[in-house]
């Protein structure tokens, strides 16, 4: 059974590694890292506050540990209008459970955060609020660019007895009930689930290749993983949207029909069409951007050709339109999960029904629960299938009986799990990495495919240079 003390030790360990690697970002102070005992003070308050309710509602909050005397080492000379700002409180309040339960109602973590810090004795206090958190959250759920939040770390009360700790867009650790989690399960980029998805996405990538010239497809501006990330991001966004309903839901990807009985049949292919169009547009955008940089580098004193600007403008408009279309598609598909039964999706992400009932008789007695993308004895546990609820068991039955299927189940408490048959076992992966985390827990860069989606600090640096 893990505790807030173990969470504090884990976070302290990761912060030490980050500092030793000289990867502390410019947006956060490089001040001394507090002892684990100090970190535990803030974790204790957030954890116990998450067990309370205020006016019948659970306490959900985000706290940023920010030094009021040095909120950031390298503030941009000309901050963009939509960048966050810290709004100091006229008076500071001690950070305790009663105070946090009350003030959290005024700081919806989707839109704002609480600025907290500690005194010489290690006691924390609330000293301000931080606005524009919506930009950070939208970036986290893969819906646009934003800015890293200020401070050494930010602590989130996800739900009852469930808190997570981040540094910028890097996951550090999570204490869920009495379980300490230090690594998220990146099944979308490694292991059997990733292999299955790559096989399914390949025909769509071939369609994208047909939409651009062979020279452009084979050029340095394109790698298949960049386009692959669009499909994965779309799937993750659906799961995150289902999670936000707190209703529970299930999504089954299969090209089969047997033993599936949809109450409502539809044919919805907006995602499959517009993902291919967006991938092609982004390839052209990267090529046009590469050409612009080459022109500026080779002819710094010459005017940039009108045609280059015109292409950039047209491509940006098309990109924005398709992104908005896909955002609407995400919401549409996720809302189908709100009635009983699963959402049926084909391998090309075309939706064919919802309110779908699974009628597979063969029960699954045992399930392999894996905490890592690839199956290994050290990260796998065999448990009784009846440990899980009806929604999970029916999905496991179907995926076991139909090995070419892949299922995702979102529980009412927000857990997202993937289910698939591997060999003779039905496997369940938990703690999926569905958010867009640009750095792992040691501050290293993530996949190259995500690197081209320019980070907030780099985007801000370019914007500031352009306005000087």
Q: CB of 49 within 8 A of CB of 61?
A: yes
Q: What are the C-alpha distances in Å from 312 to residues 227, 290, 291, 299?
A: 19, 11, 11, 19
Is residue 62 located within the same domain as residue 37? yes
Quick one: which of 273, 248, 277 has its CA closest to 329? 273
Burial label, 135 (beta-carbon count in 10 A; 0-12, 13-18, 19+): buried
Is residue 274 located within the same domain as residue 370? yes
- Residue 435 domain flag: no
List the structure tokens of 122.
Answer: 């290690």
CA end-to-end span of the chain, whole Å? Answer: 54
Q: How far apart are CA 209 and CA 90, in angstroms?
A: 58
- List pLDDT tens digits, range 269-283: 999 999 999 999 998
Is residue 421 located within the same domain as residue 461? no
Is residue 347 located within the same domain as residue 460? no
- For residue 461, pLDDT beyond 60: no
Is residue 424 located within the same domain as residue 310? yes
Q: CB of 283 within 8 A of CB of 216?
A: yes
- Dmax over CA atoms of the chain, in Å, equals 73
Q: Chain centroid to CA 65: how far?
A: 21
Give the range among 99-103, 104-108, 457-461 with minimum mean pLDDT: 457-461
Q: How far apart are CA 222 and CA 219, in angstroms?
A: 6
CATH code for the domain of 286:
3.40.1700.10
Q: At residue 353, what are phi and psi to the nearest 5 degrees?
A: 175, 165
- For residue 22, pLDDT beyond 60: no
- List pLDDT tens digits, range 370-410: 999 999 999 999 999 999 999 999 999 999 999 999 999 99
- List pLDDT tens digits, range 36-59: 999 999 999 999 999 998 777 788
The tally of domains found in the chain comes to 2
List the structure tokens of 208.
Answer: 């994208």
Question: Domain range spanning residue 396?
Answer: 191-429
Q: CB of 431 within 8 A of CB of 184?
A: yes
- List pLDDT tens digits, range 113-139: 999 999 999 999 999 999 998 888 888
- Residue 434 domain flag: no
- List pLDDT tens digits, range 282-334: 988 888 888 888 888 888 888 777 777 788 889 999 999 999 999 999 999 99
Tell me the pLDDT band of 213, cut-offs 50, 70 and 90: confident
Q: How far apart are CA 276 and CA 272, in angstroms?
A: 7
Is residue 168 located within the same domain as residue 236? no
Mean local confidence (pLDDT), 427-441: 79
Is residue 89 located within the same domain as residue 36? yes
Is residue 205 located within the same domain as residue 347? yes
- List pLDDT tens digits, range 152-197: 999 999 888 999 999 887 899 999 988 999 988 999 999 999 999 9
- Residue 437 domain flag: no
Mean pLDDT taken over the chain: 86
- Residue 114 domain flag: yes
Is residue 205 located within the same domain as residue 263? yes
Q: What are the C-alpha distances in Å from 418 to residues 14, 50, 157, 186, 323?
A: 28, 27, 24, 11, 26
Is residue 168 located within the same domain as residue 251? no
- List pLDDT tens digits, range 225-269: 778 889 999 999 999 999 989 889 999 999 999 999 999 999 999
Is residue 22 located within the same domain as residue 143? yes
pLDDT of residue 203: 93
Q: At residue 181, what are phi and psi to the nearest 5 degrees?
A: -120, 125
pLDDT of residue 309: 78
pLDDT of residue 298: 85
- Residue 320 domain flag: yes
Angle in degrees, 0-180, between the axes of helices 224-245 and 191-211, rounded to the nearest 10: 120
- Residue 38 domain flag: yes
DSSP designation for 177 = T
- Residue 46 domain flag: yes
Q: Per the confidence metrics, is the pTM higher than 0.75?
A: yes
Burial label, 467 (beta-carbon count in 10 A; 0-12, 13-18, 19+): exposed
pLDDT of residue 201: 94
- Residue 138 domain flag: yes
Quick one: which of 17, 28, 50 has its CA closest to 154? 28
pLDDT of residue 227: 82
Q: DSSP E strands: which ranges in 137-194?
A: 154-159, 162-167, 170-176, 179-181
- For residue 438, pLDDT beyond 80: no
Is residue 413 located within the same domain as residue 452? no
């Amino acid at each position: 059974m893990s505790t807030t003390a173990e969470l504090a030790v884990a976070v302290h360990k990761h912060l030490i590694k980050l500092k030793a690697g000289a990867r502390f970002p410019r947006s956060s102070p490089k001040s001394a890292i507090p002892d684990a005992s100090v970190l535990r003070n803030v974790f204790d308050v957030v954890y116990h506050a998450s067990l309370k309710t205020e006016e019948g509602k659970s306490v959900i909050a985000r706290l940023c540990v920010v030094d009021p005397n040095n909120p950031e080492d390298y503030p941009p000379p000309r901050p963009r209008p939509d960048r966050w700002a810290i709004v100091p409180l006229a008076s500071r309040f001690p950070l305790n459970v009663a105070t946090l339960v009350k003030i959290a109602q005024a700081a919806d973590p989707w839109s704002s955060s609480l600025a907290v810090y500690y005194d010489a004795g290690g006691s924390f206090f609330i000293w301000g609020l931080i606005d524009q958190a919506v930009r950070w959250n939208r970036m986290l759920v893969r819906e646009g660019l934003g800015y890293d939040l200020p401070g050494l770390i930010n602590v989130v009360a996800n739900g009852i007895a469930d808190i997570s700790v981040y540094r910028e867009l890097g996951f550090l650790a999570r204490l869920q009930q009495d379980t300490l989690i230090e690594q998220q399960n990146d099944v979308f980029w490694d292991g059997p689930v990733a292999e299955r998805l790559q096989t399914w996405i390949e025909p769509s990538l071939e369609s994208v290749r047909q939409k651009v010239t062979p020279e452009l497809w084979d050029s340095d501006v394109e790698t298949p993983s960049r386009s692959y990330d669009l499909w994965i991001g779309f799937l993750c966004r659906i799961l995150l949207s289902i999670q936000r309903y707190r209703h529970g839901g299930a999504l089954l990807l299969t090209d089969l029909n047997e033993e599936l009985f949809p109450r409502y049949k539809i044919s919805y292919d907006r995602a499959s069409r517009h993902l291919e169009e967006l991938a092609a547009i982004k390839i052209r955008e990267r090529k046009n951007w590469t050409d612009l940089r080459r022109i500026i580098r080779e002819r710094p004193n010459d005017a940039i050709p009108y045609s280059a600007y015109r292409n950039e403008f047209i491509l940006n408009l098309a990109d924005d339109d398709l992104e908005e279309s896909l955002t609407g598609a995400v919401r549409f598909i996720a809302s189908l999960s709100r009635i009983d039964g699963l959402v049926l999706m084909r391998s090309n992400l075309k939706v064919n029904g919802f309110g779908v009932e699974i009628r597979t008789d063969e029960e699954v007695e045992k399930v392999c629960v894996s905490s890592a993308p690839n199956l290994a004895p050290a990260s796998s546990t065999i448990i009784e299938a009846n440990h899980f609820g009806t929604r999970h068991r029916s999905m496991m039955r179907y995926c076991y009986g139909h090995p070419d299927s892949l299922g995702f189940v979102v529980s009412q408490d927000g857990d997202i799990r993937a289910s698939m048959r591997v060999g003779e076992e039905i496997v369940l992966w938990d703690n999926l990495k569905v958010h867009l985390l640009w750095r792992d827990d040691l501050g290293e860069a993530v996949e190259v495919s995500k690197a081209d989606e320019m980070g907030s600090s780099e985007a801000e640096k370019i914007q500031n240079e352009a306005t000087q």
